Structure 1
Amino acid sequence: MIRAFTADDMNTVINLWLAASIDAHDFVEPDYWHSKIDTVRNDYLPASSTWVYCEDDEVKGFYSLLENKLAALFVDPKHQQNGIGSELLQHAIAQQDDLHLTVYAQNFDAVRLYKKHGFTIQGEQVNMYTGHPEFIMTRA
């Protein structure tokens, strides 16, 4: 079930985001992700429209939209490769069809997921915080 994020989900979503970020981005030092916890908690999540995927009262994934930008899509590493990412992405597309996003070029699983759902690479840039290349992808 996908439902709207509530304040009660905050700690669970932060922990899920941290675990999934470290797991998916092994080319970025874990300290970087730890240094971003307060920013995610205090800035990104409150500013975005966030939805969580729950099963048996357990949050297994979430996504966040900032207008038509898919700012985040994360699935708990223990529950990946079970279709949760696709369900979350389909839900996000239903909310905002003309989405765009950035994704690390080395995050091959995420790039594959986005392409599967109609996103195309429009360009490439270097992430100003990590120095790693990322793709700019759109779905129109």
Structure 2
Amino acid sequence: MDHVIDSHHLFVYLPVRSAEGVLCAGAENRKSCKCRRARKGPSPDSIILSETIMSAENSLRIRRLEAVDTDRLVEIWFEASCQAHHFLPLEMLEQQRDLIRKVYLPRAETWVAVCKGKPAGFVSLLDCHIGGLFIDPAMQGSGIGRRLVDHASRDRSPLTVEVYEENAPALAFYKHLDFVAVGRRPLDDNGLPHPLIRMKRG
């Protein structure tokens, strides 16, 4: 069965293991906003994890998407989606690889988190809407998701996002960053019965 992607939908995905690896879904009904300057550690389970988090935080820089990033960002998207989207058909994700590469990334304003010289995650924006936030599964829990959202918020308020209702870690992540639920729709952008929660900050 073919799944048609709504033209307003930037990425079909969901988050992953940790709250900060989380991704949202859908850009349908996004409203224009007046962008203005807005506001800008997890508790580790071990000293080793703490050192890893500090290392990632200290070596992280955020920059705009470059053409050389595309292959790695598509892989990050796919790996995170396969790990998190247990309720979405794998063949649908496979089919969307080329759309992410050729349609969605080029249309969005994408910022890449680079750690030790390699892309570790990215956020893609449509005006003041987070169309996609993906973190390399191996780097989740190191604060990269929070840093990307804070970066996106610098010149945007309010900032909105849609999250699958079934993705409890993603909802918790955004609530922790002061997003509040402002709406719900029963179908995702593929017309599948996976409710989406619309959230807003600012």
- Percent of aligned pairs sharing the same letter: 34
Deviation (angstroms), 1:89: 0.9
What is the TM-score of this pair, normalised by structure 1?
0.94
Asked if residue 137 in structure 1 is aligned to residue 180 in structure 2, the reply is no
Alignment match of 2:161 (pick from 101, 113, 121): 101
Deviation (angstroms), 1:40: 1.3
Which residue identity is paired with 1:49? Answer: E
Alignment match of 1:34 (pick from 76, 84, 94): 94
Bigger CA drift: 73-82 or 35-44?
35-44
Mapping for residues 75-86 of structure 1, pairs under 5 Å: 75-86=135-146
Asked if residue 127 in structure 1 is aligned to residue 175 in structure 2, the reply is no
Secondary structure of the residue aligned to 1:95 is coil
Deviation (angstroms), 1:131: 2.5
Other-structure match for 2:10: none
- How many pairs were matched up? 140
Asked if residue 46 in structure 1 is aligned to residue 106 in structure 2, the reply is yes
Runs of 4+ deviating beyond 4 Å = none
Bigger CA drift: 51-60 or 92-101?
92-101
Which residue identity is paired with 1:51? Answer: W
Q: More strand by proportion, 1 or 2?
A: 1
Alignment match of 2:122 (pick from 47, 52, 62): 62
Secondary structure of the residue aligned to 1:36 is helix
Asked if residue 19 in structure 1 is aligned to residue 118 in structure 2, the reply is no
Q: More helix by proportion, 1 or 2?
A: 1
Deviation (angstroms), 1:92: 0.9
Structure number with greater CO (CA < 8 Å, separation at least 6) is 2
What is the TM-score of this pair, normalised by structure 2?
0.66
Deviation (angstroms), 1:16: 0.4
CA-atom RMSD in angstroms: 1.2
Which residue identity is paired with 2:167? Answer: N
Secondary structure of the residue aligned to 2:157 is coil
Deviation (angstroms), 1:34: 1.2
Larger radius of gyration: 2
